[in-house]
Amino acid sequence: MGYFFDAVRSMAMSMKTAFRKPTTIQFPDEMRDQGPRARLTFALVHDEHDEEACVGCLMCQKICPSRVITVTPGKKRPSEATGKKRGFADDFTLDMNACIYCELCVQVCPTDAIVMTQDHIQPGFAREDLVLTMDKLYANETETTLAWGRASNLLQMQDPKRGTDQDRAATKAKAGAKAKPAPKPKPATKPKAEAKPAPKAQPEAATKPEAEAEAKPEAATPEAKTETEPETAKPEAEEPKAKADAEEAT
């Protein structure tokens, strides 16, 4: 019977989902909206003077763990907008076949020249289609949606003091404080002022015994008188009895 109920339950689930509206899309003709933290491809951007922001410093090439970035730096030449000499990149190539999307190249860029985008990569039928040349990277600046993460934004989210001498000294101090055992708490001692008696209490204590000693003899004198009176009265009462006994004997 258990197999029968399991079969009925599975058939009911199949019939419930058979008339559900499909959620699949026809990629790449249809594109699904991505979240704000999506990172899918790369782009090179221009600066505020409408010049190439890349200066050919090779920072992204050195930090890439997959070795997919190849930069050919050019000679320094004066800028058309500011007139100052600055570096330029003659060639920039990024191979998406082995990219791991770690975004380290974006974090180390000193000029925010390379950013990631939120649009899907167009599928290709050859490996060469996934190699982003310098022209393709600059084309992605206008044809795709750029992500919000730039080197300046991402560095502000990190601790600027990390790795400095002050940071190392602070970590050593914390490690030394954890290694040392905590000192045992000392027992609480009463202050000396509480042990000493108050100076005003001495004359009052001395006068009380004197007053009690003076009051005792006065209270004892009437008691002594009452006790001695019966003793003196007894012989007076016994004399007539003795005289009567003597007369009877005669």
pLDDT digits (tens, 9 = 90+) for 153-195: 887 777 667 667 787 788 888 877 766 665 666 666 655 555 5
Q: Percent of the chain, pLDDT > 90?
A: 32
Give 196's DSSP letter: S
> Is it the case that residue 16 has pLDDT exceeding 80?
yes
Smallest CA-to-CA distance from 92 within 137, 40, 148, 25 is with: 137
pLDDT for 211 equals: 46
DSSP string, 149-177: --HHHHHHTS-TTTTSHHHHHHHHHHHHH
> Is it the case that residue 136 has pLDDT exceeding 80?
yes
Average pLDDT in the chain: 77
Cα angle: 223, vertex 228, 230; to 5 degrees: 110
Give 198's DSSP letter: P
Task: Give the pLDDT confidence of 28-53 residue by residue, as tens digits.
Answer: 788 777 777 888 899 999 999 899 99
pLDDT for 100 equals: 93
* Contact status, residue 56 vs residue 73, Cβ threshold 8 Å: yes
- Which residue, chain included where needed, has tokens 């003659």? 90
> Is it the case that residue 231 has pLDDT exceeding 70?
no
pLDDT for 190 equals: 56
**Across the beta sheet with 131-132, what order do the strands follow?**
69-73, 89-95, 131-132
Confidence tier at 232 by pLDDT (50, 70, 90) = very low
Smallest CA-to-CA distance from 114 within 31, 54, 189 is with: 54
* Contact status, residue 116 vs residue 149, Cβ threshold 8 Å: yes
Confidence tier at 237 by pLDDT (50, 70, 90) = very low
101 Ramachandran zone, left/alpha/beta (phi>0; psi -120 to 50): left
* Contact status, residue 130 vs residue 139, Cβ threshold 8 Å: no
Enumerate domains of the chain plus CATH numbers: 26-156 (3.30.70.3270)
Backbone angles phi, psi at 22, to 5 degrees: -70, 145
Task: Give the pLDDT confidence of 71-126 residue by residue, as tens digits.
Answer: 999 999 998 888 889 999 999 999 999 999 999 999 999 999 999 998 877 778 89
Helix residue ranges, H only, the chain: 2-18, 59-63, 104-108, 134-143, 151-156, 165-179, 192-195, 201-249
pLDDT for 165 equals: 78
Q: What does pTM read for this prediction?
A: 0.54
> Is it the case that residue 244 has pLDDT exceeding 80?
no
pLDDT for 250 equals: 54
Higher pLDDT, 52 or 199: 52
